[in-house]
Amino acid sequence: MADARTPILRLANVEKRYGDTLILDRLSLEVPAGQRLAIIGPSGSGKSTILRLIKGLEPFQAGAIEVAGEPLRPPRSASWFARRPAARSHMVGMVFQHFNLFPHMTALGNVAEALARVLGLTRRDAEARARDLLAQVGLGGKEASYPRELSGGQQQRVAIARALAMRPQVMLFDEVTSALDPELVGEVLGVIRTLSRESGMTMLLVTHEMGFAREIADRVLFMEKGRIVEDAAPSQLFTAPQSERTRAFLRAVLER
Amino acid sequence: MSFDFAFAWEILPDLLRGAAVTLEVMAAGFLLALAGGLALALGRRSPQTVTRLACAAFIEFMRNTPLLVQLYFLFFVLPLGGITLPPITTGILALGLNYSAFLSEVYRSGIESVPRGQWEAARALDLPARDTWRRIVLPQAIPPMLPVLGNYLIGMFKDTPLLAVITVPEMMQAAKGVAGMTYRYNEPYTLLAALFLALSLPASLLFRTLETRLRG
């Protein structure tokens, strides 16, 4: 069982390939409970893949991933049929770049669905809690709207409420503002900021928003080619990066 | 050649009785095909190789042998193995199994049209496989399938006269009966064609309306 010193997430020598392409190169990482970890790096560096493996969305070839001290068995194959989630999977929530809301359900239905089906709440209780969660992300009054009737920012906030509904201890944010129009980024970041201030949730954020990463994170990883190049506090990594690669990346991103 | 309306009117009840049987066979056969097609489509995605192969083999067999041969097989060969079914049941079974193979392909394309992100979202919420199919995937896969399902329904309707060869008293059989007894062919077969048209045209129109409605 997990004691206070057990990291809530542990990746040990995780290797992930697509065919011949190496995506994660024997990557090891420990995340203590409550930490806000930002992962930055060029596209194709494997940063989103880390999140996808932790949530069990994809198999990996070698190494081990533990959630609160329990090993996560990778999904057996690419088939989605009759697959069972790992024991600790429910501790991990995920928000996607493209929201992935269920288009045939209202905002309320999207949030209430897993409350009813997975946590076993009655429809009524599930909807009451979903209503609270929508209010929490500033979407009170939008319960009956379908995803297509909402802006990108609103959709992403529904997706955050949907993930929060399962009361995860770890939240994975996978480039959650990358698909948004610039003027909608702020409202989504605002929700995450509030969440990080008011909950003790562990957060992993894969992001291109350097200012936000610096503001919100306790720790920043810079990744390239499936490896962690630099792992430091934001004040260190953004102002005095040790690696030449990190410096080059930050220069390119910040001067844009 | 003349068309005797009085005679046509006289034999209409016989043909309508046949039409009732046709509709009954078609309704039951199509329901069977809808259920069987879904089962086959799911079976082809099973993690068990045996299930996958068995479903694929069944589908290929059904799609590549004539319905008439399948009918004869069920009607004449099964009783040799001790399984004797009434003609109507045999007809429903043959139509249902045959069409389930075609409908499984329709389901397959419907299922494949659901974006991968939907599966991932369901997985991220730890929805069980059953709920993922029932609540997330199928409700999105089925609406775009409706126009194609409509075509298959009408296709099945037009295949029902084949059941006459195994003595199912459907419309074709009824028309043949009248013709055989009276040696008059014009009225029963004209009436038969008119009845087919009268029944399938509204169905075509219904599905076309449904299609425009879904696309709009």
The more confidently predicted of residues A85 and A193 is A193
Give the domain range for residue B29: 5-215
Beta-strand ranges (E) seen in chain A are 9-18, 21-31, 36-40, 62-67, 70-71, 92-95, 170-174, 202-206, 219-224, 227-232
Contact residues for A250 (Cβ-Cβ < 8 A; gap 6+): A210, A238, A241
Whether A27 shows a pLDDT value over 70: the answer reads yes
Region A112-138 average pLDDT: 95
pLDDT in tens, A139-178: 999 999 999 999 999 999 999 999 999 999 999 999 999 9
β-bridge mates for residue A10, sequence order: A30, A66
| Calpha distance B59→B50 (Å, rounded) | 14
DSSP B76-104: IIGGGGT----HHHHHHHHHHHHHHHHHH
> Which tokens hold the place of A44?
């194709």
Q: How far is B175 from chain A (nearest CA, A)?
A: 48
Question: At residue A10, what are phi and psi to the nearest 5 degrees?
Answer: -140, 125
Closest CA to B198 of B166, B157, B162: B157
Whether A1 shows a pLDDT value over 80: the answer reads no
* In this structure, CATH architecture of domain A7-75+85-254: 3-Layer(aba) Sandwich (3.40)
Residue type, A29: L
Closest CA to B29 of B102, B123, B84, B134: B102
The more confidently predicted of residues B170 and A73 is B170
Q: How far is B121 from chain A (nearest CA, A)?
A: 6
Please give the mean pLDDT across all residues of chain A.
91
Residue type, B162: L
pTM: 0.87
The more confidently predicted of residues B97 and A200 is B97
Residues of A in contact with B139 (CB under 8 A): 104
Give, in degrees to the nearest 5, the angle at Cα A14 between A9 and A18. 125
Closest CA to A127 of A165, A168, A171, A167: A165
Among A62-66, A213-217, B46-50, B95-99, top mean pLDDT goes to B95-99
Would you call A100 and B128 a contact, using CB atoms and an 8 Å cutoff?
Answer: no
Residues of A in contact with B125 (CB under 8 A): 113-114, 118, 162-163, 166
Q: What is the CATH number of the domain that holds B99?
A: 1.10.3720.10
The whole-number pLDDT of residue A4 equals 60
The whole-number pLDDT of residue B149 equals 92
The rounded percent of chain B whose pLDDT value lies above 90 is 82
Residues of A in contact with B144 (CB under 8 A): none
Provide the residue ranges of all domains of chain A, joining segments of one domain with +. 7-75+85-254
Q: How confident is the model at residue A84 (pLDDT cuts 50, 70, 90)?
A: low
β-bridge mates for residue A227, sequence order: A224
CB A85 within 8 Å of CB A79: no
Residues of B in contact with A85 (CB under 8 A): 123, 126
The whole-number pLDDT of residue A86 equals 64
Q: How confident is the model at residue B215 (pLDDT cuts 50, 70, 90)?
A: low
Contact residues for A6 (Cβ-Cβ < 8 A; gap 6+): A68, A69
DSSP A34-53: T-EEEEE--TTSSHHHHHHH
CB pairs under 8 A between A and B: 72
Q: How confident is the model at residue A2 (pLDDT cuts 50, 70, 90)?
A: very low
Region B99-123 average pLDDT: 96
Q: Any idea how long chain A is?
A: 256
Q: What is the ipTM of this complex?
A: 0.91
Whether B183 shows a pLDDT value over 70: the answer reads yes
> Which tokens hold the place of A220?
């920043």
pLDDT in tens, B144-168: 898 899 999 999 999 999 999 998 9
The more confidently predicted of residues A1 and A63 is A63
Q: How confident is the model at residue A44 (pLDDT cuts 50, 70, 90)?
A: confident
Q: Give the count of domains, chain B.
A: 1
